[in-house]
Amino acid sequence: MISTVIGVVTLVYLFAGLLFVGAALWQQERLNRAACFLLFCGLAAHLGAFAGRWVQSYQLASRHAPPEAFTATLRLVVLQVPLSNFFESLVFFSLALPSLGLLSFRRHLRDFLGAMVALLACLILAYASLGADASIKPLMPALKSNWLLIHVLTAFLGYAAFGLAFGAALLYLWQARPTPVASRRAASAVLHDLDRLIYQAVAIGFIFLTLGILTGAVWADQAWGRYWSWDPKETWSLITWFIYAGLLHARLVKGWAGLVKGWAGKRIAWLAVLGFLAVLFTYFGVSFLLSGLHSYLT
Amino acid sequence: MPPLFSDLTSRLWRNLTSIRLTVILLLVLALVATVGTVVPQGEPVARYLARFGPGMGGFLVRIGLHHIYRSPWFLLPVALLTLNLLACLFRGLPQALRRVARPLTWETAQSLPERGRFSLPPGSDPTPRVLKALRREVGRPRVASPNPNRIVFLVERGRFRPLGPYIIHLSLLLILVGGLVSLFCSVEGRLLLLEGESARSFVLSDRSERPLGFEVRLDDFTVRFYEQGIPAEFRSDLTFFQNGREVAKAACRVNYPVTFGGLTFYQSSYGTRLDGPLTLKVCQGQDCHVLKAPLRQVLTLPDGKAQLIPVRVASNLHGLGPAVQVAVKSGPGHPKVFWVSRNHPELADRAGTPFYQPGPRRVLLEDLPFKFYSVFQVRRDPGVWWVYSGFLLSLPGLCLAFLLPPQRWAVVLTQKPDGRWEGRLLGASPRARETFTAKTNRLLARLKQKL
Ligand code: HEM
């Protein structure tokens, strides 16, 4: 049932993405609105699937060890949040991306940027259904912690925001390519908009990534007796964090002429691209290429 | 100061406080950490030689890449970043504090750019109307009346934003200090306890022993499994003794460490160990004998024709349960070596398996007295508190820096000679133009609304 819903949602995202592309090519505002609506419907179903999976894994766990008091029930609900393996994290990643787009960046979610968000979500979800093990497994002892929910939630919201910044950065670099003089004026307004969007998305992502790293450290301190052990996943999240901290400060670097205006534009966009590549490596690369304490994900 | 020297120091200061340096250092750190994930950390030197070849491996070890986070490759940029951070704090914090200490006043509001005009009819009191509009759209205003025919409403949001980045930077310093304290002042070791066993000391990572300062006993170790055979919980029941008296009991589980006497115990791993001799049954047809067999001791079988040695034991061999590997020697030639499974004696007849027993004699395993042992990570780390206070401090910093952009509005009402009130809306928000413009437009529309 849930896997069917997820399959349908994947298609809905694909269709929404195509509508966004159409809106961009034919300059049709109506198509943009239709795509937004479709994305919204897909998101609602996606949220339903997420909740359904949560209920399922709760039921499974409570059959094994029925909670007695109300607080124990609540605890089990928190523990069984479906964020504990690769499949579930992919589903949440692809859930966070359009949610963030629709909630925080509604105004920008159109044309090619809308298409990127919808298609990226579609791609991740398709990968989840085809390439990851969807069975619900009971929680191993190390994952039984209240920190699981907040740690994974914040980390993936951060990833989603960085994904958005990545989309905006790609568009920026595409728009900023050398063009005939005539269209430069129009392009520069768009570029200014995209530049601000990159900054805003990175700022949100940075907050969440920081929270993700901090909660992860607290959890590691409790579970492994060490808040930081240079495990590859930790290290790569730190690398990602360094890159985005670099981006945020690069905007403040004074130009050669002593102008207050920071490095804006292309270099920032490249840093946003680099940062998201680091995000992807933290998420996929580390799990598959490097081994470490986080490798239960695979 | 001689000019050259002062020139040099001012250059140094400029570079130390420059954000360009910050960006470079952050990217350098990203690169160094990347190297740290490509070259495995903290392994024996021989591994590097085997993995990267003698030339390359030796080179990596010589320049310290096998302990990169304790080598100058990492520590130097971190130290520079710390200096950079301190210099920025030193330079920027006073200015930020001064800015925060100066709230929006009528004098400073006059320099805000104008965003729109409106006018209100004579006769009625305009104050409630403007107050309501401001409260609805942007927030509670302060009201001033610099002279009788002028009323000023001031709204300021995000006044403390300039402190945000500095709070973040301070919290980073706390975390860095915590890291240093952890590096130099923490004690970390392991403790292995058999069920029923107690200890007064634990083993540090350099294999030296260190007294606990008290006595701890493992009363019981339990593993709970799910139906699928996946472990659900590891639990060690501990009792602590001080001067021979029992003072505390606690259950140590994964994610739930136990702290006693300044040391924290983390459930780290577990295992089983043989506890006493095994019980074997040796049969030849219907003729069976039960034997007690200590591990690795030669045993002559009752018929006197063969000798048997239990070589090693496994608590769960190939998922088939407890088993013992025995070597049986009868006459000249090599001894026969096979495993004996407690739960599956029928495997002895299955040729080609490690359990196959050639010949007419059958060795059965009656009892394998296993006992659990539990391994704890034992730690005292005074750096944690620094790190945690840094974590806590960073939260308001992040909120201030990113979520509360400074926004200022002023509504200036001036009464004209004909009794009409002329209003001007001023305001600015350099960091949040979009939301500011949207709010300002809504506010203006509300102020212009006909009654
Ligand atoms: C890992 C190290 C660092 C982190 C995570 C960090 C974090 C931040 C953050 C989140 C902001 C707010 C950015 C924004 O509003 O867009 C900021 C601003 C700033 N940072 Fe850092 N920072 C670090 C190191 C440094 C260092 C070493 C310096 C010294 C030059 C520095 C100087 C500044 C300045 C001048 C601002 C702007 C303050 C303002 O807007 O009033 N930062 N930093």
Both B285 and B354 in one domain: the answer is yes
B158 lines ligand 1 (CB under 6 A): no
Both B46 and B122 in one domain: the answer is no
- B396 lies in some domain: no
How far is B195 from B190, CA to CA, in rounded Å? 16
Both B239 and B377 in one domain: the answer is yes
Angle between helices B72-101 and B163-185 (to 10 degrees): 150
Structural domain including B312 reads 278-370
Both B261 and B242 in one domain: the answer is yes
Both B151 and B191 in one domain: the answer is no
Both B282 and B366 in one domain: the answer is yes
- Per the CB < 8 Å rule, is B26 touching A245? yes
Both B359 and B287 in one domain: the answer is yes
Neighbours of B190 (CB within 10 A): 17
How far is A226 from B187, CA to CA, in rounded Å? 11
- B227 lies in some domain: yes
Q: Which atom of ligand 1 is nearest to the CA of B81?
A: 27
B71 lines ligand 1 (CB under 6 A): no
Q: Which of B316, B343, B370 is the endpoint of a domain?
A: B370
Buried b (16+ CB within 10 A) or exposed e, A236-246: bbbbbbbbbbb
Complex prediction ipTM? 0.89
pLDDT per residue of chain A (298 residues) written in tens, 0 to 9: 788 888 888 999 999 999 998 888 988 888 888 888 999 999 999 999 999 899 888 888 888 778 888 888 888 888 888 888 888 989 999 999 999 988 888 888 878 888 999 999 999 999 988 877 777 788 888 888 888 889 999 999 999 999 999 999 999 998 887 766 656 666 777 888 888 899 999 999 999 999 999 999 999 998 888 899 888 889 999 999 999 999 999 888 865 444 445 566 788 999 999 999 999 999 887 777 765 545 444 3
- Selection from A160, A185, A188 nearest residue A176 by Cα: A188
- Per the CB < 8 Å rule, is A141 touching B255? yes
- Per the CB < 8 Å rule, is B179 touching A228? yes
When divided into structural domains, chain B yields a total of 4
B192 lines ligand 1 (CB under 6 A): no
Both B366 and B413 in one domain: the answer is no
Q: Which atom of ligand 1 is nearest to the CA of B87?
A: 29
- B174 lies in some domain: no
How far is B77 from A176, CA to CA, in rounded Å? 34
Both B189 and B118 in one domain: the answer is no
B60 lines ligand 1 (CB under 6 A): no
- Per the CB < 8 Å rule, is B226 touching A224? no
Q: Which residues in chain A have their CB less than 8 angstroms from residue B398's CB?
A: 206-207, 210-211
State the pTM of this model: 0.86
Buried b (16+ CB within 10 A) or exposed e, A97-128: bbbbbbeebeebbbbbbbbbbbbbbbebbbbb
Of all protein residues, whose CA lies closest to atom 24 belonging to ligand 1? B85
User: Where residue B146 sits, what CATH number does that domain have?
Assistant: 3.30.310
Dihedral sign for Cα atoms in the order A196, A202, A203, A205: positive
- B143 lies in some domain: yes
- B421 lies in some domain: yes
Both B107 and B245 in one domain: the answer is no
Burial bucket for residue A252 (CB in 10 Å: 0-12, 13-18, 19+) = middle
Residue corresponding to tokens 């074997």: B280
Both B256 and B282 in one domain: the answer is no
- Per-residue pLDDT, A190: 81
Both B258 and B287 in one domain: the answer is no
Residue spans per domain, chain A: 1-139, 144-298
Using one digit for the tens of pLDDT, what is the confidence trace for B352-396?
Answer: 888 998 878 889 888 888 888 899 999 999 999 999 999 999 999
